[in-house]
C-alpha cells in the first residue's frame, strides 16, 4: 500500500497541546474517495482523546470527526461520488458490512466493532486512523455522505456528530408533530436537539439548570424553557413529556427528569458515557417509563438527516477558528464557553 | 350505605403480628359482585404494608390481593358474573374508568390513581379498603376476573399479583417464540416469569446468584441457568439476550445484567421500587439498550393471562397454610423460605 504524507494537527504525546504533524494517508483504492478537508468541527470527544481521558488513546492523536470537504479523487469502482462533490465524514470510516447491525444500516453498532475516524484500527496502513484536523482524508465511499450544496458548509460540519447523535434517537423513537419533547442541556448536542425536534413539529421544551440560557434556547426553536432547579416548575411539568433527549455529558441525577415522563415515555441518554447517580426503580415502574441510550447514528440515517437539513435549511450555530487557535478552543470547550460548536477553517493549516 | 360485618385477619397497630378482626363490607350495589373467599396468596407487599415499611399504611391493615373465591351474589346490573362462578380479584378494586390509561385497559396506571384492594381509599364506606385475608369481599364487576375451572384454584391465587406482574411485561415487550429471555431472581415473581416465558416459546435462562436453585429453575421450565456471580459465565452470555425480566426486589447493581442485553433489547424491572446502584450510561448508549419498569397489569391483560393459564394449565407453585399460621409465614417470606408462594386456605378463618 502506497502512502502519501500530508499536514495535520495533533498531539504527539499524552498532553493536551496540539501542534503541526506530518501524517500518512493511503493512496486512493478503487472503492475510496479522497477528500480535501474544508472544515472540521471540534467535538468534546476530541479533547477526551487528546488527553487520554478514556484511557484508550493512541499517539499521535489527530482528532476530528466532523469533516466537510470536496472530493478531489474517486477510485475506479466509486459510483456515488465524483470530483467536486461537497461531502462529509462523521465518526466512522469503516465497519464489517456483514453483521446484522451493518446490514440494517446501523454501522455504529457493528458487532465486529466500527472503525473510528481517528484512533480506530487502520486496516490499510497498520497502526491507527487519523482524523479531520488535517489537509485531506481518504475514506471508503460507504462512509462518505453527500452534503446539500444549499446549506452553509461551515455550519454543516457539526451535523456529522452533534447532529446525527440527536437526530438518530428522535427518529428511532418516532418523535412526531405535536409531541411534547424535552431537550436536557444546551450545548453542542442540545442545540441540535432543539432545532431538529422543532423542525419535526414537536412542542420543544428546553430543560436547563441555567435561566440565562432561556433567550438563546427560544431563538434556537424551543417553545418553552424549564429550569430544572426550580421544583415548582418541575412539578408543573410532571408526567407530561412524550420524549426526553438527555444531552448532559457528565454524571448526574436522572430522577427529576424521569418524573417528567408520561406513562410509556422514554428518556434517551446521548451524553453521559459514565456511571450515573442512583436511579429510583419506582419512577420507572410506576408509569412503565424507560431509559435508553443511543450513540451517533448509522450511515443511512446520517444521509437522511443531511437531506432533511437541506430541505429545512438547518445547520449548527458555530464559531470559526483557525487551526493555530485549537488549544485555546479546547480550553473554552472544557468551560462550555462556545455557542455551540467550534469549526476549524482548514485553509489555516496551509499558513 | 349499609354495611355487613365479617371476619378478617389483620394488624390493629403498627406491628407485624396479625390477629382476628371484625371488618365492614358494603352491601351489594347494582354493579357489585360479592365473593366468598376460598384462597388468598401471601405477597411480600402484604408484609411491607403490615409493617408500614413504605410509610403509607393505614390501620387496621387487612392485607391480601391475590384472591380466589366464588360469587355468592351479583348486583342487578351485573352481566358478566353469576352465583357460583369461580373468580379472582387482584391488586385493584376500582379506578376512574375515564382517563386514557383506564380506557386503554391499563387501570394500574390510572391517572387519577387506582384503588388498591387494601389500604386504598374506600369511596363507599369511607376510610380505607380491606384485603383478602377475610371471609368475603364486595367488588365492582369491572375488577373481577374469571378463573378457568380446569386449573387448581389454590395455585391460581398468586396469578392475580405475581402472575400478572410478570405476564404484563412479557406481553407488552412482545416476547415471542425463540427469543432468549433471562429471568433474574427466583422467587414468587421469578418462578412465574420462567413458567410464562417458557410457555410463550422463549428460550429461558434463569439468572440467579444461587447455584443451588439450578435444579428447581429447570423443573419450572428454564432451559439454562446462569450464575450471575460467575464472571466467566456472564461474559459468555454478553450481548445475547432479547429480553430480561428483573424480579430482584431490593437495591442492586444493574450493570452486569445490562451487559447481557443485545442491541435494542430491554431489561424490565418489576421488583425494585427503590433507588438502584449507579448505572453506567455507556452500557445503555453502546448498544441502544433500554431499562424500563412495569407494575402489575391491567384488567384485560389479567383476564388474558388467566385464560392462557387455563389453556396451558399453568398455576403457581405454592405452600398452603391456615390463617392462624400467617405470622410464621410472614417470617418465612422475609427469609425467602418459600417455594414460591404461601396461599391461605380461608376455610381456616372459620375455625
pLDDT tens, position by position, A273-305:
889 999 999 999 999 999 999 999 999 999 999
CB contact under 8 A, A278 and B282: no
CB proximity B236 to A under 8 Å = no
CB proximity A56 to B under 8 Å = no
Query: pLDDT tens-digit profile of A79-100?
Result: 999 999 999 999 999 999 999 9
The answer to whether the Cα torsion of A33, A141, A99, A270 is positive or negative is positive
CB contact under 8 A, A289 and B288: no
Q: Cβ contacts (< 8 Å) between A102 and chain B: which residues?
A: none
**Phi/psi at B310 (nearest 5 deg)?**
-60, -45
CB contact under 8 A, B293 and A288: yes
CB proximity B289 to A under 8 Å = yes
Mean pLDDT of each 10-residue bin along chain B, 351 residues long: 88 86 95 98 94 91 98 97 98 97 98 96 94 98 98 98 98 98 96 98 96 94 97 97 96 96 98 91 96 98 98 98 96 93 95 78
Mean pLDDT for A172-181 is: 98
CB proximity B99 to A under 8 Å = no
C-alpha cell at A236: 408543573
Helix axes A162-172, A299-312, angle to 10 degrees: 100
CB proximity A246 to B under 8 Å = no
Chains A–B, number of C-beta pairs less than 8 Å apart: 109
Mean pLDDT for A293-320 is: 98
Smallest Cβ distance to B281: which of A263, A274, A284? A274
Other Cβ atoms less than 10 A from the Cβ of B324: the count is 15
pLDDT of B1 reads: 61
Quote helix, strand, coil % in chain A, to nearest 5: 30, 30, 40
Walk me through the domains of chain B, giving residue ranges and CATH numbers. Answer: 3-160+317-350 (3.90.180.10), 163-293 (3.40.50.720)
Smallest Cβ distance to A291: which of B273, B274, B291? B291
DSSP A257-281: HHTTEEEEEEEEESS--SB-PPPBH
Helix axes B299-312, B162-172, angle to 10 degrees: 100
**A170-174, A202-206, B1-5, B234-238: which has the minimum mean pLDDT?**
B1-5
Other Cβ atoms less than 10 A from the Cβ of A342: the count is 26
For residue A165, the chain B residue with the least C-alpha distance is B285
CB proximity B284 to A under 8 Å = yes
Instruction: Return contacts of A328-333, CB within 8 angstroms, 24+ apart.
Output: A329/A42, A330/A16, A330/A18, A330/A42, A330/A46, A330/A47, A330/A50, A333/A42, A333/A44, A333/A47
Mean pLDDT for A318-322 is: 97
Helix axes A188-199, A162-172, angle to 10 degrees: 40
Q: How many helices (H) and strands (E) does chain A have?
A: 11, 17
pLDDT of A219 reads: 96
In Å, the largest CA–CA distance within chain A is 64
Mean pLDDT for A254-268 is: 98
CB contact under 8 A, A275 and B263: no
How far apart, in whole angstroms, are the C-alpha atoms of residue A335 and residue A35?
32
Q: Which residues contact B11 (CB under 8 A, 6 or more apart)?
A: B17, B18, B19, B50, B59, B60, B61
Mean pLDDT for A119-128 is: 94
Q: Cβ contacts (< 8 Å) between A285 and chain B: which residues?
A: 269-270, 272-273, 293-295
**Phi/psi at A101 (nearest 5 deg)?**
-60, -45
How far apart, in whole angstroms, are the C-alpha atoms of residue A53 and residue A50?
8
How far apart, in whole angstroms, are the C-alpha atoms of residue A315 and residue A158?
8
H helices of chain A, where? 44-50, 100-103, 153-156, 162-172, 188-199, 214-220, 231-236, 255-258, 281-285, 299-312, 326-334
C-alpha cell at B179: 427469543
Q: Of B201, B211, B206, B188, which Cα lies nearest the Cα of B317?
A: B188
CB proximity A293 to B under 8 Å = yes
How far apart, in whole angstroms, are the C-alpha atoms of residue B117 and residue B95?
11
Please give the radius of gyration of chain B, using alpha carbons only, rounded to the nearest integer.
Answer: 20
CB contact under 8 A, A281 and B292: no
How far apart, in whole angstroms, are the C-alpha atoms of residue B228 and residue B185?
10
CB contact under 8 A, A172 and B266: no
Peptide bond just before B60 cis, omega within 30 deg: yes
pLDDT of A1 reads: 61
Q: What angle do CA A162, B239, B259 make, to 5 degrees?
A: 75
Give the rounded percent of residues in chain A with a pLDDT score beyond 90.
94
How far apart, in whole angstroms, are the C-alpha atoms of residue A225 and residue A237?
11
Q: Cβ contacts (< 8 Å) between B53 and chain A: which residues?
A: none
Smallest Cβ distance to A282: which of B273, B289, B290? B273
C-alpha cell at A125: 496502513
Residue B306 · residue B283 · CB < 8 Å? no
Smallest Cβ distance to B284: which of A269, A286, A287? A269
What is the H or E stretch that residue B307 is in? helix B299-312
Question: Cell 439548570 sits at which residue?
Answer: A209
Distances (CA, A) of B347 to A228, B119, B237, B339, B351: 55, 24, 48, 22, 7
CB proximity A4 to B under 8 Å = no
CB contact under 8 A, B274 and A282: yes
Reduce the DSSP state of residue B313 to 3 states and report it. coil
Q: Cβ contacts (< 8 Å) between B269 and chain A: which residues?
A: 281, 284-285
Q: Which residues contact B1 (CB under 8 A, 6 or more apart)?
A: B26, B27, B124, B125
Question: What value of ipTM does the predicted structure carry?
Answer: 0.94
Q: What angle do CA B210, B212, B213 make, to 5 degrees?
A: 75
C-alpha cell at B54: 413504605
CB contact under 8 A, B272 and A291: no
Other Cβ atoms less than 10 A from the Cβ of B262: the count is 19
Smallest Cβ distance to B294: which of A101, A288, A292? A288
Amino acid at each position: 500500500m502506497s502512502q502519501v504524507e500530508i499536514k495535520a494537527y495533533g498531539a504527539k504525546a499524552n498532553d493536551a497541546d496540539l501542534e503541526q504533524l506530518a501524517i500518512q494517508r493511503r493512496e486512493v483504492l478503487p472503492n475510496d474517495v479522497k477528500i480535501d478537508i474544508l472544515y472540521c468541527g471540534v467535538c468534546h470527544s476530541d479533547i477526551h482523546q487528546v488527553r487520554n481521558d478514556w484511557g484508550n488513546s493512541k499517539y499521535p492523536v489527530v482528532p476530528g470527526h466532523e469533516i466537510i470537504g470536496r472530493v478531489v479523487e474517486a477510485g475506479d469502482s466509486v459510483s456515488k461520488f465524483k470530483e467536486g462533490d461537497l461531502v462529509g465524514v462523521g465518526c466512522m470510516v469503516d465497519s464489517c458490512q456483514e453483521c446484522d447491525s451493518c446490514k440494517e444500516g446501523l454501522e455504529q453498532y457493528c458487532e465486529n466493532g466500527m472503525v473510528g475516524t481517528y484512533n480506530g484500527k487502520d486496516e490499510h496502513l497498520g497502526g491507527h486512523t487519523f482524523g479531520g484536523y488535517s489537509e485531506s482524508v481518504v475514506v471508503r465511499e460507504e462512509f462518505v455522505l453527500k452534503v446539500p450544496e444549499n446549506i452553509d458548509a461551515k455550519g454543516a460540519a457539526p451535523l456529522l456528530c452533534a447532529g446525527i447523535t440527536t437526530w438518530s434517537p428522535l427518529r428511532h423513537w418516532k418523535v412526531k408533530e405535536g409531541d411534547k419533547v424535552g431537550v436536557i442541556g444546551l450545548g453542542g448536542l442540545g442545540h441540535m436537539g432543539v432545532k431538529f425536534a422543532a423542525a419535526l413539529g414537536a412542542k420543544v421544551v428546553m430543560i436547563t439548570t441555567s435561566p440565562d440560557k432561556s433567550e438563546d434556547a427560544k431563538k434556537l426553536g424551543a417553545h418553552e424553557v424549564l429550569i430544572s432547579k426550580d421544583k415548582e416548575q418541575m412539578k408543573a411539568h410532571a408526567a407530561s413529556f412524550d420524549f426526553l433527549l438527555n444531552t448532559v455529558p457528565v454524571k448526574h441525577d436522572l430522577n427529576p427528569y424521569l418524573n417528567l415522563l408520561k406513562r410509556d415515555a422514554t428518556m434517551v441518554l446521548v451524553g453521559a458515557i459514565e456511571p450515573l447517580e442512583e436511579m429510583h426503580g419506582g419512577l420507572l415502574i410506576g408509569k412503565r417509563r424507560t431509559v435508553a441510550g443511543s450513540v451517533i447514528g448509522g450511515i443511512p440515517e446520517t444521509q437522511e438527516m443531511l437531506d432533511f437539513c437541506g430541505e429545512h435549511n438547518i445547520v449548527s450555530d458555530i464559531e470559526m477558528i483557525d487551526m493555530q487557535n485549537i488549544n485555546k478552543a479546547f480550553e473554552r470547550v472544557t468551560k462550555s464557553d462556545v455557542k455551540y460548536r467550534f469549526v476549524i477553517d482548514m485553509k489555516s493549516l496551509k499558513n
